Structure 1
Amino acid sequence: MSKATKRKHVTKEVLDEFILPAENQKIVKVLGGRGNNLHEIETSDGEKYLVSMPTKFRKNVWIKRGNFVVIQPIEEGEKVKAEIFAILYSAQIKYIQDQGKWPKEFCMDKTEETNKESISSSSEISDGSDSDSSSRNSDLFVNTNRPQCAYESSDISDEGSGSHSSSKEN
């Protein structure tokens, strides 16, 4: 399988799969990346430790500080106690909340983020774009180190053409 095909399938799986955490899995909040595919997380109990990112997600999906993930504990780790099982975006979080499986300690954080997203999605709807695809694309990582190009069509105004004709007459 080529890298592009793998990336496409992994991205589709992350965005479109709606899972509920199993008995041995936990929903946690990412505090930040610690390098070497390790992330520091905080559980709903307030416990902090490192988790590893599985190879299928590496270089295909990025995790930011404040995101929520589902983790699965591993036995062999002292510092690294779990592995990321799934990355949760707003649609998956809403699904888990509807099913009643969302930790109460994280409820306040998500309501603030949901309010921000509803404001941004309402502005996207007013632009006339498809709200379903735009909300899915807004969850994807955007590299802020690259300049954002905005392409606009420009029409030659009558003023500009008038100034050219007057300069030709002289």
Structure 2
Amino acid sequence: MNKTKNIYLDILQEEFELPKDNQKIVKVIYKNPNHIFDVLGEDEIVFKAILNSRFQKTVWVKVNKLVIVEDVGGNFPEIVKVPTDNYIKFLRKNNAIPSIFEEKLENDGEDLFCINPNQRTIVYSSSDSSSEEDN
């Protein structure tokens, strides 16, 4: 199996665990070049984080997505996990998501993590209303 398939399998088959002491849940607010992201911490301070080199060519990180960063002692903290929708639900059940992000999630609703913004939304109209107007 090649490296890409292994990474996808790791992401899809990951075991849900709460963040460790040296890990934080943050929100991506801007993507800079070279896999560097501006992230918002739970104390409302914006700082930069770098994507783990293992994920750089295979994982897409969206703006406004929650990620888990770990301080590894370099210039920037490193993004070590990009949680899936099910993982985020697990974190919500265990109250691991900081309150600042939890409030925004409640305001935005559950669909925040399920909508693809690059895909057109199709609005269906009922044909009953047009037939009634014709009469």
The two structures have a TM-score, normalised by structure 2, of: 0.75
2:110 maps to which residue? 114
What letter is aligned with 2:90? Y
Deviation at 1:19, TM superposition (A): 2.6
Contact 2:26 2:42 (8 Å CA) reproduced: yes
Matched, 1:93 2:88: yes
Q: Deviations over 1:4-32 (max 9, x none)?
A: x2112212222332231001110000012
Matched, 1:15 2:4: no
More helix by share: 1
Contact 2:40 2:47 (8 Å CA) reproduced: yes
Contact 2:22 2:70 (8 Å CA) reproduced: yes
1:65 maps to which residue? 63
The two structures have a TM-score, normalised by structure 1, of: 0.61
User: What SS does structure 2 have at the residue aligned with 1:96?
Assistant: helix
Deviation at 1:100, TM superposition (A): 2.1
Aligned pair count?
A: 117
Deviation at 1:116, TM superposition (A): 5.2
Bigger relative CO (Cα 8 Å, ≥ 6 apart): 2
Contact 1:68 1:89 (8 Å CA) reproduced: no
CA gap of 1:75–1:19, structure 2 versus 1, over 3 A, is: same
The gaps in structure 1 that reach 5 residues or longer are 121-137, 145-170
Contact 1:42 1:48 (8 Å CA) reproduced: yes
What letter is aligned with 2:62? K
2:43 maps to which residue? 45
In structure 2, distance between residues paired with 1:83 and 1:115: 27
Alignment of 1:81-160 (within 5 A): 82-111=77-106, 112-115=108-111, 144=118
